[in-house]
Structure 1
Amino acid sequence: MANTSVVLYHYDASPFSTKVKNMLLVKGIPHKLVAVPIQLPRPEITDLLGLTYRRIPIVAIGNDIYCGTDLIASVLERRFPSAAGYKPLFPPRAGGGRTDATLAKLLDRYWVGDALFSLLANSLPYAKFDAKFIEDRQQWRGGKIDAKALAEKQGHRSSAIASHLALIEEQLADGRQWLLDTESIGLVDVSAQVFFTWARLFKNLREIFSADAFPQTLAWIDRVAKHIKEAQKSNAATPEKLTAEDAAKLIASASHEDEKSVGFEAVEAARLSVKLGDMVSVCPTDSGKVPTIGRLLALNREESVVEIKGKAGIFRCHFPRLEFAVQPTQPTAKL
């Protein structure tokens, strides 16, 4: 595992990119960075890798490309385990209790990634953005962005965000250091802190983060930030910047993980009307609904794996099962 390069495709304004950067830092995984544009087109991904999935970030480990930050978290934990000297994203409870990995995954995916992110994304100052950016985000959302209507409802969103902060305050009231009372920082801490820190950059949300109302929450936000900063100073995971061309060559020439690590659930395949080796479409069902077409190599209840081809070579692309549709399709001329 130590000889397998990890490459993160990102852009700085993306909180999801920051989340994955911080996961890599917390775990102490050396990695490389490829900067991509904040909006389409992204030929670094669509052309060189042949990946039409439009969300950022994506992470390549060797020849395997992973989409979806929830799947990326699980894969980093599996492929870079504590037994090999890496820090855990799913640590046990303080005092030697069990590991609540499933709870952490659910909170990360549906509380932070859906409920909280939706409130924050709708609080962006869309009236200040240019038409090209708005059009790109409308395509991503699958609907019109009405900046005036969103601004008129900001008070309701701000109140809802305050309610989320109140839940954090309640969770931390017993003096615990981390949200799930773990013996060290965990995925939910990393994920939630990124989005609350992002929110504090918004002028229309700053007043919500009151030290009088949420003292424990603000202390926790600072505690996570300090932990991330210390991880950066340790140099254990100092990132190296790559050009898109060099990254694509590196990934194309690398080996892939045996598909047996994912396996093939015949029952699930039958439910989806697909078979091993079929050409399939894998597409998000919530936003950024751009399908990726590839040959189905593996499928279980957590992820699907398809083979794709870009200008730089052939790659194996992994997608989460939750909130992604896998459907049979016909091969394209490119493949």
Structure 2
Amino acid sequence: MADLIFHHYQNSPFSEKIRLVFGYKRLAWKSVFIPPVMPKPNLTALTGGYRRTPVLQIGADIYCDTALIADVLERIVPEPALYPAEVEGQARILAQWADDTLFWTVIGYVFQPVAIPCLLGPLTPEQMQAFGADRAAMRKAPRMTVAEATGNLKAYLHRLENMLTGGKPFLLGAQASIADFSVYHCLWFVQLAQPLAGILDDAPRLKEWSARMAAFGHGQPEKLRDSDALDIARNAEPASADAPVVDTHGIAIGEQVSIMPTDYALDPVQGELVLSTATEWAVRRSDPQAGTVVVHFPRVGFQMKKS
């Protein structure tokens, strides 16, 4: 199997989700650190413009969005499972709620002045302004007020605490699932915001669960330069995309399309449609730095149209 190359930055919550999956599945992986704000020239050379963090690279195949990345890792290493058969539907739905509703509630809560140095490190006023402008450009909807986020987060923590009653080690039972990893990365970000992390004190079972999750670790990372990742893509061939076609758009394989998220960071990626399954789209595109690559997206949370 080609190396798993993971493009991320240290304080990225969604990156922490996948780093912990690497640990859960005891995987070795190559770590490429990327800037937290645009421009990200070596990353977008691979993705065609997709700018969200993180991104998984396997040779010349580029996987966007942690929901799809988790599916890919599950295909490569099925055990221990992220989607135990008896709770797969529940796990996927709870994970989607955590990655969207819980995540944006946490963002509204933690980005208070007292906690920003813990989340971003010491920044100059110019760097802070650049970060704010970058994130404003990513998300068009207004951020939740601190008061609303605080109230909602307390309610969600109470509900999650309730899910751990009866001595269950994980949210859906005896085995961890994708739901645990999606909830965890949100609460990891709350813990990172140290002056505000006391909100977790009223959820002792959840704090114990969080420590249990953290114990999975991050697997075996090894640093890799972003220029080397580009070389690997340029010298590799994308994997075969032979899969049953599911067409809900009236768009045939081989047509030129653009794909982008439906919620934020609406940067379209254009290319030739080479994969259209019930759960995934992929486009082939060429770049002077990265060569010919195939960029993959999940269907849920993304939109596609003819170019």
TM-score between the two structures when normalised by the length of structure 1: 0.82
CA distance in 2 between partners of 1:309 and 1:90 (Å): 34
Once residues 140 and 314 of structure 1 are traced to their aligned partners in structure 2, the CA distance between those partners, rounded to angstroms, is: 27
Alignment of 1:166-205 (within 5 A): 166-182=158-174, 184-203=175-194, 205=196
2:268 to 283, 288, 291: 291
Mapping 1:106-117, distance limit 5 Å: 106-109=93-96, 111-117=97-103
- What displacement does 1:245 show? 1.1
> What whole-Å deviation, never above 9, does each CA across 1:63-103 have from its counterpart, x for those lacking one?
21110101111121112223xxxx22223xxxxxx432222
In the alignment, which of 285, 290, 304 is matched to residue 312 of structure 1?
290
Q: Report the CA distance between 1:204 and its aligned residue.
A: 5.8
Q: Is the 8 A contact 2:20 2:214 kept in 1?
A: no
**Partner SS for 1:174:** helix
C-alpha distance in 2 between matches for 1:119 and 1:279:
37
- Give 1:42's aligned residue: 40
**How far apart, CA to CA, are the structure 2 residues paired with 1:175 and 1:188?**
18
Residue 69 of structure 2 is matched in structure 1 by 72
| Structure-1 separation of matches of 2:255 and 2:295 | 15
Q: For the residues of structure 2 that align with 1:77 and 1:50, how far apart are their CA atoms?
A: 22
The superposition leaves residues 40-78 of structure 1 with CA deviations (integer Å, 9 ceiling, x where unpaired) of: 00011123x252001010101232111010111112111
- Aligned residue for 1:276? 253
Amino acid at match of 1:207: G
**Does the aligned pair in 1 maintain the 2:160–2:206 contact within 8 Å?**
yes
C-alpha deviation, 1:116, in angstroms: 0.5
Are residues 1:222 and 2:211 paired? yes
Structure 1 residue 203: Cα displacement:
4.9
Partner of 2:152: 160
Describe how 1:23-62 pairs up with structure 2 within 5 A.
23-47=21-45, 49=46, 51-62=48-59
Deviation digits for residues 280-321 of structure 1, max 9, x if unmatched? 000111000000001000102211010021222111111011
Note the alpha carbon deviations across 1:18-61, whole angstroms, 9 max, x for none: 111111111122110111001000011123x2520010101012
Structure 1 counterpart of 2:99, which letter? Answer: G
Matched residue SS, 2:265:
coil
Whichever residue aligns with residue 246 of structure 2, its letter is E
Aligned-partner Cα distance in 2 for 1:277–1:305: 11
Question: Over aligned residue pairs, what C-alpha RMSD do you find?
Answer: 1.9
1:263 aligns with one of 238, 244, 263: 244
For the residue of structure 2 that corresponds to 1:100, the secondary structure is helix
Q: How does 1:84-95 map to 2 (within 5 A)?
A: 87-91=80-84
Q: In the TM superposition, what is the alpha-carbon distance from 1:171 to its structure 2 partner? A: 0.9
Cα deviation for residue 191 of structure 1 reads 2.1
Aligned length, in residue pairs = 294
Q: 1:120 aligns with which of 106, 113, 120?
A: 106
Equivalence for 2:235 = 253
Instruction: Using the TM superposition, give the Cα deviation of residue 143 of structure 1 relative to its aligned residue in structure 2, in angstroms.
Output: 5.0
Q: Secondary structure of the equivalent of 2:52?
A: coil
Identity across matched positions, percent: 29
Q: Which 4+ runs in 1 deviate beyond 6 A?
A: none
The TM-score normalised by the length of structure 2 is: 0.89
> Which is greater in Rg?
1
Task: Show structure 1 runs of 5+ residues with no match.
Answer: 92-97, 330-335
Letter of the aligned partner of 1:254 in structure 2?
A
Distance in 2, matches of 1:61 and 1:18, equals 19
**Amino acid across the alignment from 2:151:** S
Secondary structure of the residue aligned to 2:187 is: helix
Question: Conserved in 1, the CA contact under 8 Å of 2:110 and 2:196?
Answer: no
